[in-house]
Every structure is written in C-alpha cells, then in structure tokens.
Amino acid sequence: MAKLIFRCSFAVLLLHQLALDFEVVVSTAQPGNLATPPPLPVLPLPNYSQLKWQQREIIMFLHFGVNTFTDSEWGTGKESPAVFNPTHLDAGQWVDVAVDAGISLMILTAKHHDGFCLWPSRYTDHSVINSPWKGGHGDVVGEFVAAAKARGVDVGLYLSPWDRHDRRYGHEKAYNEYYTAQLQELLTNYGSVREIWFDGAKGANAPNMSYYFGDWFGMVKELQSSINIFSDAGPDVRWVGDEQGCAGSTCWSAINRTSLSIGNASIVQYLNKGDPKGTDWIPPECDVSLRKGWFWHKSQSPKKLNQLLEIYYNSVGRNCLLLLNVPPNSSGLISQLDIERLKEFRSAINTIFSNNLAETCLVTVSSQRGGEGRGFGPENVLDRDHLWTYWVPDEANTKGQWIEIRATDHELSFNVVMIQEAIGLGQRIKRHEIYVDGRLVAEGTTIGYKKLHRLEIGAVEAKRVRIVILKSRKLPLISHIGLYFDPYWHPK
Ligand SMILES: *[C@@H]1O[C@H](CO)[C@@H](O)[C@H](O)[C@H]1NC(C)=O
Ligand SMILES: *[C@@H]1O[C@H](CO)[C@@H](O)[C@H](O)[C@H]1NC(C)=O
Ligand SMILES: *[C@@H]1O[C@H](CO)[C@@H](O)[C@H](O)[C@H]1NC(C)=O
Ligand SMILES: *[C@@H]1O[C@H](CO)[C@@H](O)[C@H](O)[C@H]1NC(C)=O
Ligand SMILES: *[C@@H]1O[C@H](CO)[C@@H](O)[C@H](O)[C@H]1NC(C)=O
C-alpha cells in the first residue's frame, strides 16, 4: 500500500513538472491513509431539532381536562370548571410512567376544543382558577413541566385553536389576539418547550373563521428557538394523515410545503407517503391513543400488546415517530391497566431488539467508497452509531449494490430485519429487496431513519442475508442493519 501511494505522488509530481503551463487533472483518490470525504448531501436535510426529534422514536401525548370528568371526547364548552377536580393529581407519576416506557418527550393538552385551560391564564376565567382543585390555586401545566424537568424529560404542549367556550371565537381578530396571547403565556412562563401541536379543527358555527397560523408560528419560533411545530403542514414535523398510527409503506420525510394546508382532508394520502421530489424536510408523526378515545373513560381499556406492536412496526418501523396518547384518569393519575400495558410494550420492544444476530456475522459489500479502509466500509452498519457512520458503495455502479450478512457457523433464525439510512445526508433509498440464502423474502421502497421488515413468511433459518439496493437518489448510505427474532410475531 505504502509503495503504491509513494508511486502515485511521485507521478503527480512528475506531471506537475512536465505540464507547467496547463492544468493537470490528476486522480481524485486521496493520497496516504487520509479518509475519503463523505458524499455530498442530497437535499432537503433535517435540521438539528428535527434530528433530535427523530431519534426519540416514541413520545407521549396526555389528553386531560374537563372531558376526563364528563366521559366525553369533545366537550361542548359549557362545562362548569367545578367538574375539574382530580383528587390525587400527581404529574410525577405521569413522568415516571413515561420514563419507564423509554419516553423522553411528553405533550400535554393545555387546552382542548372545550376551551378549559389547565393553567391560570390571565385572559380567561374558564380555567383551573375556577375549579375546586387546589382551591383554584393550581396549575397543571406548571406541575407537569416541573415533574418532567426533575427527571430530565422534555415537554410539549397542545393549545387547541378551536375553542367552543370563548365568546371571542368566530370574531376573527379578537379571537386570534386571545389565542396569540395564550401562546405567549405558555411559551414564556414554562421554560423550554420542545414541541407544539396545532390542528385546523373549526366550529360549525364559524366555518369561515381564519386562524392566523403565520402570526402564531412566527411567535412560536421567536420565543422557543429549538421547538418543533407540528401541524398538517409542518413547518417542522407533519401529521401522518391518520389517527391509527400507520404510515405509508412508502414514507418520505420530504414533502412540498407549498402543496400542504392545515385541515385539508384531500391531502391525507400525500401526508401519509411524503414525496420523493419534496423540497422540504417535514417528517411525519403518528398520533394514536393507547385506548379507543383520546380522553380517559372508565369503560375503556388499553389496546392489546399485539396491536401496540403492530402500531410500532407501522410507525417507528416506517420512518416515523410514534406519538402515543396515555390519558390520565379522573383521579389525576395514569391508570394501573395502562401502566401495565406500557410496561409490557417496552419490555417486548427491548426483548425483540436486544439481540442483533448480525453482530456475530461477517459483512461483505458489492463495493465501498474510496476502497477499503477509507471510512465507508460494511463495519459501519454494526457499530453503535446509527446516524453518522455508514456504508457507502462505490460511485460507479449505483444500481444493484448489495450488502451481505453471513453467519460464520450455525444458521441464523430471525423474523425481523432492521435497516437504517444515514438521513443526516438526506433520505435516498427508493427500492430495496432482502434475500435469504438466495431466496427473496421481502421487498420494500423507502427506508429513512428506520425501516423494520417483519417477515410475512415468519421466522427463517439462513446463513446468508443479502440486502440489495435497487433504486436510490444518488448513492445509498446505510448506517445500521439488524436481524432479530420477534417472539410475539405469529403471521397468519
Ligand atoms: C362562509 O363563507 C361562505 C363563502 O364565502 C358563505 O357563503 C357563508 O355564508 C359563510 N358562512 C358564515 C357562517 O359566515
Ligand atoms: C428546521 O427546519 C424546518 C423545516 O425546514 C424549519 O421550519 C425550522 O425553522 C428549522 N429550525 C431551525 C432551528 O432551524
Ligand atoms: C386542499 O388540497 C387540494 C389538493 O392538494 C387542493 O387542490 C386544494 O386547493 C386544497 N384546499 C385548500 C382549502 O387549501
Ligand atoms: C414537489 O416539488 C418538486 C420541485 O418543485 C416537483 O418536481 C414535484 O413534482 C413536486 N411534487 C408534487 C407531488 O407536485
Ligand atoms: C386512577 O389510576 C390510579 C392508579 O394509578 C388508581 O389508583 C385510581 O383508582 C384510578 N382512578 C379512577 C377514577 O379510576
């Protein structure tokens, strides 16, 4: 190697001397043992806040308010604040439950459509101030934020634009002033807020009411620089287009912002799949409730473990974030049944993904950027870094590049294949296939931050697993590969 390099630089030197008067084009290969630079990014790219968001994988929603006490999903706005009386409210318990479930961000409904505010807003008396809870001196948002901070969990808030209580609703300017003022209260008095949720729901009594999203978003960014704004149209993270926690099997983080609008039912398919030609990085978030309803109802119980795992594979396993709603009950606590189900869910995920069978295998590739030892080899797909170290094939042949995992002694038995793309340089892969011992067992389109293939044919025994990248925007970059056995998966 060293000899070769010496000869190369010697040749370059010679060329230089011979060609004094014109530009010499020499090999672009790096001299010595310097690393080859990474390929150029393929736009659009995530920014810092979006990358941090993506790595959370599962976050928690908490729907809590007057509906919790009236057994309803959409309050009318006529509820008396007197109904809000959680006898044992303990936000610390909510946070403990989230931490045990491996969750690092929790989003609370500061105000839902009924208009009742969980914090003592200066701009309305329809709030905790007029409730019996803590004699009207309580602040649920404050307690929630303090409890989360104590355990290092980040917070997010939802402030419903639709307000069925406030008289200003329907009077465009007055209501938008009221709403903007409440946003300012929430985003200045409670420290750092990492996500804020907007939807476009409107009252039938005021179908023409305009929400001043432009003003609101500007205000939000001014007050919280690292926040992610969620809505149908981003600007930072987008709705996935359904409330079942199910992303498209093709799912691009990119989309065209100019084609989006908030509360437009005709774009749900587009939101679900994204756009390979999209100019904006606005990745999808999958909101779904642990129970049937968003609010707690005595009559409802949490979804079964296999339903939750299905949701996990269809959201986290399809390049999305899972926003799982866990509604506190009328005592102000997360119910025991929900706690147990979340524990089962976390323990199932840990069980499935604790043992990557690929780690004991040999990994070979069709080619690698810059040749061996230049930083883009197959060893990168098995290290701990799932973002910034990755395998890159050689420039020359972008079609049919492959990476193969080969067992060194006995056969591998698995039913899940995980593939991750180095999205820091853009989402690229458009089509891929998985072969075991030469047999096609799964095919797919996009990969993105994480793709989980739960094999339809069930568990396979094999010595060789080959992932073929058939189509990609420029070079494909694979940051991680895993082969797992999911004991909960029993395909029909
Ligand atoms: C809303 O706007 C439409 C079209 O401009 C109009 O026909 C309708 O009367 C308006 N509705 C209300 C409740 O103002
Ligand atoms: C991150 O990117 C989104 C989408 O392009 C943009 O709306 C947002 O302002 C960016 N955030 C930061 C902190 O740059
Ligand atoms: C809703 O989306 C469709 C499809 O993109 C578009 O044609 C229509 O103009 C949008 N409507 C509104 C009110 O933005
Ligand atoms: C999104 O924008 C790009 C660039 O302008 C364009 O090529 C593409 O066709 C757009 N996608 C859709 C679905 O209109
Ligand atoms: C709420 O959940 C707690 C357990 O965390 C339980 O002790 C309490 O009885 C529940 N309240 C209601 C009204 O079900």
DSSP 3-state of 254: strand
In a domain, 174, yes or no: yes
**pLDDT value at residue 14:** 38
Choose the final residue of a domain: 353, 376, 393: 353
User: Ligand 5 atom closest to Cα of 330?
Assistant: 13
- Number of other residues whose CB lies within 10 A of the CB of residue 378: 18
Amino acid at the residue 133: W
Ligand nearest to the CA of 279: 4
In a domain, 41, yes or no: no
Clarify whether residues 415 and 309 are in a common domain.
Answer: no
Pocket test for ligand 3, best of 238, 257, 267, 269 (most atoms within 8 A of CB): 267
Clarify whether residues 157 and 283 are in a common domain.
Answer: yes
- Predicted TM-score (pTM) above 0.75: yes
In a domain, 294, yes or no: yes
Tell me, using a 6 A CB cutoff, whether residue 438 lines ligand 1. Answer: no
End-to-end CA distance of the chain: 55
**CATH code of residue 402:** 2.60.120.260
The distance between the two most distant Cα atoms of the chain, rounded to a whole number of Å, is 92
Short-list 453, 106, 469, CA closest to 314: 453
Short-list 153, 487, 490, CA closest to 350: 487
Clarify whether residues 267 and 347 are in a common domain.
Answer: yes
Helix or strand holding residue 267 (H, E):
none
Clarify whether residues 65 and 83 are in a common domain.
Answer: yes
Clarify whether residues 285 and 179 are in a common domain.
Answer: yes
**pLDDT value at residue 396:** 66
Clarify whether residues 245 and 132 are in a common domain.
Answer: yes
Clarify whether residues 191 and 271 are in a common domain.
Answer: yes
Q: How many whole angstroms from 281 Cα to the centroid of ligand 3?
A: 20
**pLDDT value at residue 210:** 96
Q: How many whole angstroms from 378 Cα to the centroid of ligand 1?
A: 61
Choose the final residue of a domain: 334, 353, 372: 353
Tell me, using a 6 A CB cutoff, whether residue 207 lines ligand 1. Answer: yes
**pLDDT value at residue 35:** 82
Pocket test for ligand 4, best of 266, 272, 275 (most atoms within 8 A of CB): 275
Tell me, using a 6 A CB cutoff, whether residue 333 lines ligand 5. Answer: yes
**pLDDT value at residue 28:** 54
The Cα–Cα gap between 80 and 114 comes to: 11
Clarify whether residues 63 and 117 are in a common domain.
Answer: yes
Pocket test for ligand 1, best of 172, 202, 208, 209 (most atoms within 8 A of CB): 208
In a domain, 296, yes or no: yes
**pLDDT value at residue 10:** 35
Clarify whether residues 339 and 418 are in a common domain.
Answer: no
**pLDDT value at residue 108:** 99
Clarify whether residues 90 and 191 are in a common domain.
Answer: yes
**pLDDT value at residue 29:** 56
In a domain, 62, yes or no: yes
Total number of domains in the chain: 3
Retrieve residue 383's tokens.
């290290």
**pLDDT value at residue 172:** 96
Choose the final residue of a domain: 302, 335, 353: 353
In a domain, 113, yes or no: yes
- The residue ranges of the chain whose pLDDT is under 50 are 1-27
Clarify whether residues 12 and 73 are in a common domain.
Answer: no
Which protein residue's CA is at the shortest distance from atom 5 of ligand 1? 208
Range of the domain at 407: 357-484
User: Ligand 5 atom closest to Cα of 329?
Assistant: 1
Clarify whether residues 156 and 221 are in a common domain.
Answer: yes
**pLDDT value at residue 31:** 60
Tell me, using a 6 A CB cutoff, whether residue 277 lines ligand 4. Answer: yes
